[in-house]
Amino acid sequence: MAAGASGYADILRAPHAMRLLLGTLVGRLPNGIASIAIVLFVRAEGGGYALAGGLVAAYGVATAVGQPLLGRAVDLYGQPRVQLPAAVLSALGTVLLAAVGIDPLWVAYLACVVAGVFTPPLEGGLRALWPSVLGREDHVHRAYALDAVAQEVMFTVGPLVVTLLASLWSPTAALLVINVLGVLGALSVVVSEPSRTWRSAPREAHWLGALRSRGLLALLGAFFFVGLALGSIAVAAMAYSDGNGGDAVYGWLMAALGLGALVGGVFYGARQWAGAPERRLRAIVALLAVGYLPLMLTPGAVAMTALAALAGVFLAPALACAFIVVDRHAPRGTVTEAFSWLVTTFGVGAAVGSAVAGPVVELSGATASFAVAGAGGFAALLVLVATRKVLAVPGRTTELAKAVPAVSENDRNGAVEPGFSTGHRA
């Protein structure tokens, strides 16, 4: 663990690393806690769970559409010309929602769509920058774990910030404040030297882009269901909180989910792992699925908070491992787009989970909607098991990739993670 802590310190001491990590973290804040902020806003406006779930779903689907398109634009045109304008437009969509409320309803949906579709692909952008900032492959892979941990810091602190702003000021203020912070975070990233000078590797022109990789498609199919589980938990936790202490309990439940993932991510990134990451990912997702099942017990608020923390423990490790798998299977020259597709998968899955959980809550209560999360976790595992042959041998098949068989898209030095090969063959 001491060696892992030293490795994290080495990453953060690298020039620009801390700024990029913090800027991306703040820039992702609007997207990371949008579901909570929208649910609180809709309830304050007098809307029900079905409407809240519908608006969250619209936001999630719009994000899913926008992320790969914006990610491909980043690969083609660079980060500053795409990230900052997108962040501003997304914030303006949220301003429209705050100004109009839920009446007329079509404007509320339009506002959520605009806010979602222009969400800047900061996550994929940061993962594309790590190789040029850190240089060494072992540092890049540890940075993936650190990135997942930082995301869980956002999911831990973010719900508390939103509920605090909503309680002390208003849900409208919460929406506006987090989006102003998001624009400032994106600005901090795009004016940095690594972001301004980064260029994607050469790519083969293909209309499918990153999606021509069968391994990437298999991974995205699995993480759709992980997103579904998380989206259903957001709505189910709100329904549970209504009968067990209100918004404050909801904030603690969501924060505990993020805290559990944070702890799991720290321990995962503190050591080097031998063996193929695809095999390791199946084991982690199996543990993630099992961790969702106790939520259906719906005990008192204190015990439920502990169960939420337990349910989150394997989320960050699953993401960190998935980042490596994405890098191993993505076609050359599609780095930002490939990582953005992972965000898209989460967005679609979370949107479906929210849309399903809302009516389930109204028909059968919170326990049944927590069952949706458990089902999502096991569906993700089944996809990984069913596609294990597709994921077993990563490799790029394009002629351009064959010309540089030893170099990973995110590893321009040609290094490999200890314990396995890149799998790129001539």
Contacts of 189 (CB under 8 A, 6+ apart): 19, 20, 23, 24, 27, 79, 83, 122, 125, 126, 195
User: What pLDDT, on the 0 to 100 scale, is given for residue 362?
Assistant: 83
pLDDT of residue 89: 97
Residue 262's pLDDT is 84
Which residue carries 């045109």 as its tokens? 77
40 CB contacts (<8 Å, ≥6 apart)? 162, 163, 166, 171, 174, 247
- Give the pLDDT score at 74: 92
**Average pLDDT per consecutive 10 residues, the chain (426 residues; last block may be shorter):** 65 90 92 85 87 87 88 90 96 94 93 95 89 81 82 74 86 91 95 90 66 89 94 89 82 85 86 85 95 92 93 91 87 83 81 85 86 94 94 52 37 33 29
Q: What is the pLDDT of residue 420?
A: 29
Task: Report the distance separating Cα 90 and Cα 66, nearest Å.
Answer: 11
The confidence score (pLDDT) of residue 207 equals 60
| Residue 400 CA from chain centroid, whole number | 30
